[in-house]
Amino acid sequence: MIGRLNHVAIAVPDLEAAADQYRTTLGAVVGAPQDEPDHGVTVIFIELPNTKIELLYPLGDDSPIKGFLDKNPSGGIHHMCYEVDDILAARDRLQASGARVLGTGEPKIGAHGKPVLFLHPKDFNGCLIELEQV
């Protein structure tokens, strides 16, 4: 059902410092900041030959990333995103197997302009999973 790894998301306490570290220290191609109000985050994508890194920073006081950074002030891996061909079929299959989809269960549009869903970390060995339709 899942396809390739789309990205690994890292919550960071200082978005510009993290982007600069990837750009200068690691020599990576770093994109521009992008506000995602529906998800309460500002993101920067780092392009790698085989996947992406998504830097996450809180956008507003209600951001889920703010709570994550309160618990992990230095930042850390927040989630992994896998591609799926049909997000509704994937959701239905997962829910039928007992996996919990976060929120309403309806996909939202993600940072790449494609439908996404998040799966409860307690159902996946403590890892928050994002599914993105390709």
Query: How far apart are the C-alpha atoms of 25 and 10, rounded to whole Å?
Result: 17
Distances from the Cα of 28 to the Cαs of 18, 21, 52, 67, 72, in angstroms?
A: 12, 9, 10, 28, 25
SS3 sequence, 51-91?
Answer: CEEEEEEECCCCCHHHHHHHHCCCCEEEEEEEEECCHHHHH
Catalytic residue among 36, 47, 106, 130: 130
The answer to whether residue 16 is catalytic is no
- Give residues with Cβ within 8 angstroms of 24, minimum separation 6: none
Tokens of 48: 């790698």
Report the run of H or E that residue 94 belongs to, with start and end.
helix 87-96
Active site residues: 130
